[in-house]
Amino acid sequence: MASPRASTPLPELPEKNSGYREVQYWDQRYQGAADSAPYEWFGDFSSFRDLLEPELRPEDRILVLGCGNSALSYELFLGGFPDVTSVDYSSVVVDAMRARYAHVPKLRWETMDVRALGFPSESFNVVLEKGTLDALLTGEQDPWIVSSEGVHTVDQVLSEVSRVLVPGGRFISMTSAAPHFRARHYAQTRYGWSLRHATYGSGFHFHFYLMHKGGELSVAQLALGAQILSPPRPPTPPCFLSDSDHEEFLSAIQL
């Protein structure tokens, strides 16, 4: 669920939900983003601050994936975490964010695909993503059985996250996807991390996943991860999402 300022009109939506995967859509959407209000997927900083800040240290090198025009990177800076690099594959929004926060030269903005990060291995203590994986999976038709293409896309991102994290580093993922849909993607031994889950938000709850590089998965999590290509079917057919006229569809999609 997005939480834009009340006076901010809703942006133009893609013709189909799968359009959220395309850089062309975001380039068009972010025209003029330097002068527009931040748009926050799945809550603003205040809604998950109590969960996030205990996992951060002032000296951490932090990477924000799929930053869009969110204020998250700036809020981290204001909160005492100044070493923040933010990436997005839309060069339009990256240029806009550089312009918006030109008065904060410590914040870095790079045009980059999260599936192929251009950083050396072990470059960051913390990697954050909020809604980026959700956007990459919007073309999926069945939340219980993610296509092999979808599984591969998520694996590309998570493999890169694991690569750029230092030993003991933390990966934090915020999403609308509940554990029975999303945790199986994270629960893979090749990433070399442990997995914890919490929720945040009032009314509708969003999901906060914390992974520690160097930790171990539980037996139950390993079993869940083994279901990645053949998860059990639900007892009744899920309610499939149709294209919506409002971006709250991302609050309900469960991938």
Instruction: Please check whether residue 255 lies inside any domain of the structure.
Output: no
Coil, strand, or helix at residue 186? helix
87-136 pLDDT, tens digit each: 998 999 999 999 999 999 999 999 999 999 999 999 999 999 999 999 89
How far is 208 from 108, CA to CA, in rounded Å?
25
Instruction: Please check whether residue 52 lies inside any domain of the structure.
Output: yes
HSE-up of 47 (CA within 13 Å, CB side)? 22
How far is 64 from 160, CA to CA, in rounded Å?
13
111-125 pLDDT, tens digit each: 999 999 999 999 999
- The continuous run of DSSP H or E covering 134 comes out as helix 132-136
Instruction: Please check whether residue 126 lies inside any domain of the structure.
Output: yes
Domain count of the fold of the chain: 1
Residue 41 has pLDDT above 90, yes or no: no
Instruction: Please check whether residue 141 lies inside any domain of the structure.
Output: yes
User: What average pLDDT score do residues 230-252 get?
Assistant: 51
Of the candidates 139, 13, 132, 137, the one whose C-alpha atom is nearest the C-alpha of residue 63 is: 132
Q: Among all chains, which residue has been given the structure tokens 């009744």?
A: 236
Residue 138 has pLDDT above 90, yes or no: no
Sequence-distant (≥ 6) Cβ neighbours of residue 24 within 8 angstroms: none
Instruction: Please check whether residue 102 lies inside any domain of the structure.
Output: yes
| Structural domain that includes position 74 | 45-229
Query: What CATH number should be reported for the domain holding residue 119?
Result: 3.40.50.150
Instruction: Provide the pLDDT for residue 242.
Output: 47
Instruction: Please check whether residue 129 lies inside any domain of the structure.
Output: yes
Within the chain, strands assigned E span: 62-65, 84-88, 108-111, 124-130, 165-175, 196-200, 206-212
Neighbours of 94 (CB within 10 A): 21
171-220 pLDDT, tens digit each: 999 999 999 899 999 999 999 999 999 999 887 899 999 999 999 999 99
Instruction: Please check whether residue 249 lies inside any domain of the structure.
Output: no
- pTM recorded for the entire structure: 0.81
Instruction: Provide the pLDDT for residue 40.
Output: 79
How far is 142 from 148, CA to CA, in rounded Å?
12
Instruction: Provide the pLDDT for residue 15.
Output: 59
